[in-house]
Amino acid sequence: MSVERINYSAGSVEAIGALVRGEGAPADAPLVLVSPNWLGVTDAAIAQAQEIAAGRYHVFVADMFGAGKTASGPQEAAPLADALRADWAERRARIAAAYETMLASAQARGLGDGRRTAALGFCFGGGNALELARAGTQAQAIVSLHGDLVTQGPAATGALKAKILVAHGGSDPVAPKAHRDSFEAEMNAAGVDWTMLCFGHVLHSFAEDGPTVPGVAQYDPRAARLSFTLIHAFLEDAWTA
């Protein structure tokens, strides 16, 4: 499976993303922007993108920190992610630049169908995907997996064009029920077509097979499997509606 590093400007930084050609996917397959978790464009994030792309899509992995910067763990990642959480305009500029770079890079290579696009993110990346939606992206579908749900820049009525799917753990302490309620109220006030899948007793990071943090984050293979079953159907529905 081909992986090509792409340099691009994103907000206030020079970024290095990755274009992943889906193995077995047709040249004109849909394009999906993937925003990884707060560790950045790591080897694990690339492997995750390859798994998502295989046979279905071509994927662009967004670099939110600039220069392809990655973090080795929460202690390094938290300051990077929190700085963008506190600056929603910059956060939107960076994820929007990644989306535009995906379109331009794919078009230049005769790859993908720019009329069928989506964005998907994990944890911090899920929040990035939702900020792309709030920015009024032309992508037809936005997916957040155990992501940030609240923002300092709520969506304006009619601003969001994409259909939104959120998959979340009912016991996620990082984005608890109060955040889900706030997100639901925001989406309803803005007139958004949104869906939320909530897994009872499931914690944060359930869709990523990484380290367990007792009481906070734990991989849940059933929740991950069911989420992706719905995600693929959700994307297809958004592209054919």
The enclosing domain of 121 has a CATH number of: 3.40.50.1820
CA atoms within 13 A on the CB side of 224: 15
The answer to whether 100 and 94 have CB atoms below 8 angstroms apart is no
pTM as predicted: 0.97
pLDDT of residue 1: 63
What would the pLDDT profile of 153-184 be if each residue is shown by its tens digit? Answer: 999 898 899 999 999 999 999 999 999 999 99
pLDDT of residue 228: 97
In sequence order, what E strands does 96-217 have? 113-122, 141-145, 163-169, 194-199
Domain coverage including residue 189 = 3-240
Pairing of strands 3-10, 13-20: antiparallel
Distance CA 76, CA 165 (A): 29
Distance CA 71, CA 92 (A): 21
pLDDT-derived band at 241, boundaries 50, 70, 90: confident
Distance CA 13, CA 85 (A): 16
Structural tokens at position 50: 């390859």
Longest C-alpha distance within the chain, in Å?
Answer: 46
Paired strand residues for 40: 70
Find, among 138, 185, 143, the residue nearest to 161 by Cα: 138
pLDDT-derived band at 139, boundaries 50, 70, 90: very high
Pairing of strands 113-122, 58-61: unpaired
The answer to whether 150 and 180 have CB atoms below 8 angstroms apart is no
Q: What percent of the chain shows pLDDT beyond 90?
A: 96
Q: What percent of the chain shows pLDDT beyond 70?
A: 100
Structural tokens at position 93: 């500029």
Mean pLDDT of 71-81: 96
Residue with tokens 């993108």: 49
Structural tokens at position 52: 């998502």
pLDDT of residue 215: 97
Mean pLDDT of 8-32: 97
Structural tokens at position 127: 């929040």
The answer to whether 40 and 69 have CB atoms below 8 angstroms apart is yes
Paired strand residues for 217: 204, 213
Specify the number of domains making up the chain.
1
